[in-house]
Structure 1
Amino acid sequence: MKDKAHMRERYRRERREAFIPAVYTNVLSTPEVMQATIVASYVSYGHEPSTVELNRALIKSGKTLILPRVNKDHIDWIFWDGDESKLIEKKNILEPVGEVISVLPAIDVVIVPALRIDRDGYRLGQGGGYYDRALPTMSGWKIALVHSGEVTSEVLPRESHDIAVDAAATPDLIVRFNKN
């Protein structure tokens, strides 16, 4: 969609211009994460909200962490123990090495990247569609990480396959969305 492409370009520019490094460990205090055993996250890059401290804290707290690795048009999931030598750079993104999880376990929490989140919990991602394809197959509470000011009251464009997240986290707050 041309409209989405223009929005992504604008939101990336705004994010770049307003970028302030921040920590998202406030996510750890949510009941869903505190009770979780298995958490799916990702390795942030560029001006995305940083997952470095969050991923370390999840592992330190005893959670099993899985990370995505792009495989053609979908995401494979890999267990990751925090060893940075088990990450390789692919198109500016760090991805885990290791065996693909052939059958996904019951995932308690899914931490999702986003450029913007609207008031209904729908996200605008980077445009690859990887999470659009992955989220419907993943159980668990879904929370997107965004910078302050990236939860918007405007309704973002959405398509029939889009899945709303349950919550969004900024460095300072957790926003929960009502799902009817």
Structure 2
Amino acid sequence: MSATSEKSELRTRYRFERHERYLDHSFSHLATSSEFSKASAIASYISYGDEPNTQELNEALLKSGKDLYLPRVNGVDLAWVRWSGASDQLAPSKLSKQLLEPTGAALTDLSVINLIVVPALRIDRSGYRLGQGGGFYDRALPKLSAWSIGLIHPDEISSVDLPREEFDVPLNAAATPDLILRFNS
């Protein structure tokens, strides 16, 4: 079975498992970790559905004076837009009305982003993630020289290696509501 096929099957299984046991958790504790404290500009996202909730984390980052950037789909890539926390600066995505994206001008100098928060369905112990399958973060991560952390629910750290393809990029860390697991990357 190819890595692409295996990933597709795992996504179906992991989405079902996540939906069956979803509990809302706070990730705001991340804002006080050393990596977040040192970063001045952070890329995050607006969670939806059963994804780990980013609302409290994003609010904590804004309250601590960080520049917060959210992604907006721009063709096959992500554009990053500075967000102040105002709901009137968000609009439904062209991909899905459930997804909210920032309005406004996109960041032109990606080197200002020090840290990126990444969604994931699973992350293995080497830092490789399984995302939703659109490839947006696989294309975005190599363009950023930022420290990367994926948000997952408890029990979503995989004890076995996830299938990998040549474009997959390992994260620097994974976070659950209770811990940060830093990888050797």
Calculate the TM-score normalised by the size of structure 2. 0.94
1:64 corresponding residue in structure 2: 67
1:164 alignment counterpart: 170
Partner of 1:38: 41
Residue 98 (1) aligns with residue 104 (2): yes
- How much has 1:32 moved relative to structure 2? 0.9
Q: Which amino acid in the other structure matches residue 119 of structure 1?
A: R
Partner of 2:152: 146
Cα RMSD of the aligned pairs, angstroms, is 0.8
Distance (whole Å) between structure 2 residues aligned to residue 178 and residue 104 of structure 1: 24
Partner SS for 2:155: coil
Contact kept in structure 2, 1:26 and 1:173, CA below 8 Å: no
Distance in 1 separating the partners of 2:110 and 2:171:
19
Superposed, which structure 2 residues align to 1:2-41 within 5 Å?
Answer: 2-41=5-44
2:122/2:158 contact within 8 Å kept: yes
C-alpha distance in structure 1 between counterparts of 2:157 and 2:43, whole Å: 22
Cα distance between partner residues in 1 of 2:38 and 2:175: 18
Give the Cα–Cα distance (whole angstroms) in 2 for the partners of residues 7 and 121 of structure 1.
Answer: 17
Tell me the amino acid that sits aligned with residue 17 of structure 1.
Answer: E
Quote how far apart the aligned CAs of 1:29 are: 2.2
Q: How many residues are treated as equivalent by the alignment? A: 179
Report if aligned partners of 1:121, 1:168 keep a CA contact under 8 Å in 2: yes
Task: Please give the residue correspondences for 1:60-139 in structure 2 after superposition, counting only pairs within 5 Å.
Answer: 60-90=63-93, 91=96, 92-139=98-145
Q: How many angstroms apart in 2 are the aligned matches of 1:129 and 1:167?
A: 19
SS at match of 1:48: coil
Gaps of 5+ in 1: none
Alpha-carbon contact 2:110-2:143 (below 8 Å) kept: no
Moved over 3 A (4+): none
Residues 109 and 141 in structure 1, CA contact (< 8 A), matched pair in contact too: yes
Indicate conservation of the 8 Å contact 1:32/1:108, yes or no.
Answer: no
For residues 40 and 87 of structure 2, the distance between their equivalents in structure 1, rounded to whole angstroms, comes to 22
Equivalents in 2 of 1:118, 1:161: separation in Å? 16
| Counterpart for residue 177 of structure 1 | 183
Which of 47, 50, 67 is the equivalent residue of 1:47?
A: 50
Residue deviations 1:63-119 (CA, integer Å, cap 9, x gap): 000000011111011000000111111211000000111222421111000000001
What SS class does the counterpart of residue 155 from structure 1 fall into?
coil
Per-residue deviation, residues 134-161 of structure 1 (Å, max 9, x unmatched): 0001012100000000011110011111
For the 8 Å contact 1:148–1:170, the answer to whether it is kept is yes
**TM-score, L = length of structure 1:** 0.97
Distance 1:175 1:31 in 2: 13
